[in-house]
């Protein structure tokens, strides 16, 4: 490996440079140093030993970031600046990561995000160099996933009429406030998942919280977030099973997308899109972004 290439611990001071490095690799997500800090350093399971920065001379030129969840590790990010490729930096970052994970007793490594700081659903399909590097190290394709862009300009996001209908049925929708944090954390955990609760709790503490809640009396029956792990990201969102089909999800979705548009975003990114027909019918879907999850090692029973 050339002498001007080296691997060190990733530090917060590197994040501005890292944002520039990965902007071309993940153009669908608007990531700045604040969002990278949330995804990498503020992950509840973040370990400094698994956050690696690669340098070409004095310039940050690559990153490998992973977390452990039990016996499985998730390689959340592996990126090298085009100017530093084919010099051994990606190979070195990956080898160092795999060695550290092996020493920690990890049985399985997968190239995707892990709740609650997902970052990406997997390796972008367009990153053919990265896929070849991973496959040379024993990774095999497991599944493909998709995210979708929603264009916000000119989109009808009005919800007043539907909100009046919900109120008539006993459901009120409003923007959450910081004082709602405990309610959101407990109820989202109870109704959905602990990981979604962490994401919602982060968002409600923003200066202008991009999280909306649906309430029947004092009980939460739905929520939606925007801008949690990227400036243009939508989600998570959920409606309790008992209230589905009443229009709660549409109101929450449109309120959240309106927040993103008001913040100056031209597009929203919906990751791990599940009910495609729902999104198509309510706000339309634009460009599809495809990702592949690759795995290495013994599959762990979930």
Contact between 148 and 270 under an 8 Å Cβ cutoff? The reply is: yes
Looking at the chain, the whole-number percentage of residues with pLDDT higher than 70 is 98
The pLDDT of residue 113 is: 85
What confidence tens digit (pLDDT) does each residue in 63-74 have?
999 999 888 999
Element (H, E) at 6: strand 5-9
What confidence tens digit (pLDDT) does each residue in 284-297 have?
999 999 999 999 99
Segment 98-119 shows an average pLDDT of: 92
Using DSSP's 3-state secondary structure scheme, residue 122 falls into coil
Domain 153-265: which CATH number of 3.30.390.10, 3.40.50.460, 3.30.1360.100, 3.40.630.30: 3.40.630.30
Domain boundaries defined on the chain: 5-146+292-297, 153-265
Both tokens of residue 55? Answer: 């340098």
What confidence tens digit (pLDDT) does each residue in 44-69 have?
899 999 999 999 888 999 999 999 98
| Residue 2: band (very low, low, confident or very high) from pLDDT cuts 50, 70, 90 | low
The pLDDT of residue 86 is: 77
For the domain 5-146+292-297, what is the CATH superfamily, name and number? Gcn5-related N-acetyltransferase (GNAT) (3.40.630.30)
The Cα 292–Cα 268 span in angstroms is: 21
| Exposure string over 195-232, b if 16+ CB within 10 A, otherwise e | bbbbbbbbbbeeeebbbbbbbbeeebbbbbbbbbbbbb
What confidence tens digit (pLDDT) does each residue in 6-20 have?
899 999 999 999 998
Contact between 285 and 279 under an 8 Å Cβ cutoff? The reply is: yes
């Amino acid at each position: 490996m050339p002498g001007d290439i080296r691997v060190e611990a990733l530090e917060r001071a590197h994040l501005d440079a890292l944002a520039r490095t990965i902007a071309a690799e993940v153009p669908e997500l608007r990531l700045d140093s604040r969002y990278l800090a949330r995804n990498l350093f503020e992950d509840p399971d973040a370990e400094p030993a698994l956050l690696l920065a690669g340098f070409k001379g004095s310039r940050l030129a690559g990153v490998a970031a992973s977390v452990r969840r039990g016996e499985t590790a998730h390689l959340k990010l592996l990126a090298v600046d085009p100017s530093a490729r084919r010099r051994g930096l990606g190979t070195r970052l990956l080898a160092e990561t795999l060695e550290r994970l092996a020493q920690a007793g990890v049985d399985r490594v997968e190239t995707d995000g892990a709740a609650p700081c997902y970052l990406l659903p997997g390796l972008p399909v367009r990153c053919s160099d990265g896929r070849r590097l991973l496959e040379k190290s024993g990774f095999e394709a497991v599944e493909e996933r998709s995210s979708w862009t929603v264009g916000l300009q000119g989109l009808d996001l009005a919800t007043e009429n539907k909100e009046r209908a919900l109120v008539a049925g006993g459901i009120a929708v409003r923007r959450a406030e910081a004082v709602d944090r405990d309610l959101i954390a407990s109820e989202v955990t109870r109704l959905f998942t602990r990981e979604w609760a962490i994401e919602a709790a982060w968002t409600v503490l923003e200066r202008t919280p991009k999280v909306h809640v649906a309430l029947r009396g004092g009980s939460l029956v739905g929520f939606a977030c925007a801008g949690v792990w990227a400036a243009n990201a939508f989600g998570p969102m959920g409606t309790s099973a008992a209230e589905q089909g009443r229009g709660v999800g549409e109101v929450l979705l449109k309120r959240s997308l309106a927040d993103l548009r008001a913040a100056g975003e031209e597009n929203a990114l919906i990751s791990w899109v599940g009910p495609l027909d729902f999104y198509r019918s309510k706000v339309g879907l634009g460009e599809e972004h495809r990702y592949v999850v690759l795995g290495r090692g013994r599959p762990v029973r979930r």
